[in-house]
Amino acid sequence: MLALALLVLASQVGEEHASAPGALEGRPAPNETSPLQARIDAAVPGSVLVVGPGDYRGDVVVDRPLTLRGQGRPRLLGAGRGSVVRVRAPDVTLEGFDIDGLEAGDLGRDPAGVHVAAPRATVRDCRIVRSIFGIYLREAHGAQVVGCRIRGIPGRDAGEKGSGIHVWNTDGFRLEGNQMVDVRDGFYIQSSTHGSIRGNLAHDLRYGLHYMFSDDNTFEDNTFENDAAGAALMYSRRLVFRRNRFLHNRGFASVGLLLKACDDVVAEDNLVADNARGLFVEGSYRNVFRRNLVALSDVAIVLYDSSGQNRFEGNSFVGNLTPLTLVGHRTDTVFTGNYWSQNGTPDLDGDGRSDGPYRLTSVFDHFRENLTAADLMAQGLGASALAAAEEAFPVLRPVAVFDVAPLAHPPLLPDVPSASARAAAANPRGLVAGALTLAAGALVMAWGRL
């Protein structure tokens, strides 16, 4: 049952893999044009237009290199049919505006608070509300979106909303310090490479990060919280995840970080806490997970036998109901030098390693996969007794997976961020004390759930 639900989630994540943008919007009709348009049309390319406070109704097309700088938070109110600001020239900067999409537009035409279809655009310190898409980057090579706040359309079904920041066929982009809520997915990134995604917060969404066919991107210091899936990545290579938070992503088949058909990923120093499933790996090869803290999840790792040559080393797994669910009949994944809070094997020689390997799978996992209510007994004496009995008198013969050299004590993980995601959004580097406090209290909290 669990395996089927996770496969459904993975297929839903990939449901838009063939998506393409709608027809590119041109200039709005005269009766839908902002009064700012006349100033833009008269501006000398490369100049700076300072826009004072007030409400400006109608849509805007920026078709020459300009800087539009809001002073006193001017408000751009869309005409209610398409994108409020349409960037169609290179080297445009938009900063300091409040933008209202009025909950209007046809989802299939990609209406956005800011729609960019030209290189080297910068959107900075803008607040976008009630827009189907927040910011849409379409072949916008070298774009930067920095310090923006995006709130979509509250109360509308996820299928009727766009993403907070949507990136399509774009190379060399930077998304930094943005916050998103009430959109479908925080980020949707497709066919886009060489990007830096840093210090963003996406919460209470379908997927915090929805991502496919995009190679060579780096994700650092982001928070993905209270989503159906924190980050769902597919069909991509050479990604780097550092110091991110994947928190409170809960539901029957929710996950913190999902990799499907992703290769050569490095995930290090991340906090993955209080998720239904912490890490999900399917059809993925040569990925390395190291120095991550995975805590308080129902299952720490879901691993499919369609994956190969993956490695887990130096991680801390604390207070999870089950360390590993292996879907299939084989794995060559290497687990070595990780800390597992359930491991009771002593370290008699004092070398910091348990005196024997730690087995990650047991017969009880078979019942958990097919009976959700078994979660209630996962930390009980009955589960331990069943596992011991099965080891002595095997009947179901689950595949044995071991950490060959488990740590006897939790490792110091100074670069793992603290759990206080929203309070630390502006300064996401974690404190050692925060990580250690979470690790120390995790077992108590897990037992408190029973």
Q: What's at 151, amino acid-wise?
A: R
**Mean pLDDT score, 321-332:** 95
Average pLDDT score over the chain: 87
d(CA 450, CA 442): 13
Q: End-to-end CA distance of the chain, in Å? A: 22
In the prediction, which pLDDT does 371 show?
A: 45
Choice among 143-152, 235-244, 310-319, 367-376 with the minimum mean pLDDT:
367-376
Which of 279 and 422 is assigned the larger pLDDT? Answer: 279
Q: What's at 199, amino acid-wise?
A: G
Residue written as token pair 């833009």: 40
Residue 449 pLDDT grade (very low, low, confident, very high; cuts 50, 70, 90): very low
For the cut 70, the answer to whether the pLDDT of residue 40 exceeds it is yes
Choice among 3-12, 15-24, 174-183, 221-230 with the minimum mean pLDDT:
3-12
In the prediction, which pLDDT does 412 show?
A: 97
Residue 318 pLDDT grade (very low, low, confident, very high; cuts 50, 70, 90): very high
Question: Cα torsion for 151, 203, 265, 446, to the nearest 10°?
Answer: 180
Burial 306-344 (b: 16+ CB within 10 A, else e): bbeebebbbbbbbbbbbbbbbbeeebebebbbbbbbbbe
**Mean pLDDT score, 94-102:** 98
Which helix (DSSP H) or strand (DSSP E) does residue 442 occupy? helix 432-449
In the prediction, which pLDDT does 361 show?
A: 87
Residue 399 pLDDT grade (very low, low, confident, very high; cuts 50, 70, 90): confident
Cβ pair 321, 379 in contact under 8 A: yes
In the prediction, which pLDDT does 253 show?
A: 81
Give pLDDT tens digits for 58-79.
999 999 999 999 999 999 999 9
Cβ pair 353, 331 in contact under 8 A: no
For the cut 60, the answer to whether the pLDDT of residue 14 exceeds it is no
| pLDDT cut 70: percent of the chain above it | 81
Query: What is the set of domains in the chain, with CATH numbers?
Result: 18-212 (2.160.20.10)
Give pLDDT tens digits for 241-255.
999 999 999 988 899
